[in-house]
Amino acid sequence: MIVESLEGENANVEKFEVSNFFVVSKDDDGNKVYTNLSVYGDKSKDVRNFITGDLIKVFGQIRTSMDNDGKNTQIFVSYLPSF
């Protein structure tokens, strides 16, 4: 698993850390579904040590919206439990 760790700034010029990674699951038909995830703040340090094959529990909700080109965009808003 590749975990990308970055540092950013918010509108108030306050620094924060973010880690990006993805998880793979299967849909009802058995097809692989890739979900990109970003973890912010203190939780970003927790995911840096993830390796391929780690079992993690992610829960949240999918928000669907339409972009300016008329394409549906799905955003998965998730919350990682404390480790």
Instruction: Give the model's pLDDT for residue 29.
Output: 92
Q: Where do we find the tokens 């890739």?
A: 34
Residue 35 CB burial class (10 angstroms; 0-12, 13-18, ≥19): middle
Query: Can you give the three-state secondary structure of the chain, one letter per residue?
Result: CCCEEEEEECCCCCEEEEEEEEEEEECCCCCEEEEEEEEECCHHHHHCCCCCCCCCCCEEEEEEEECCCCCEEEEEEEECCCC
| pLDDT, block means (10 residues), the chain with 83 residues | 75 84 86 83 82 81 80 71 55
In angstroms, the first-to-last Cα distance of the chain is 18
pTM: 0.62
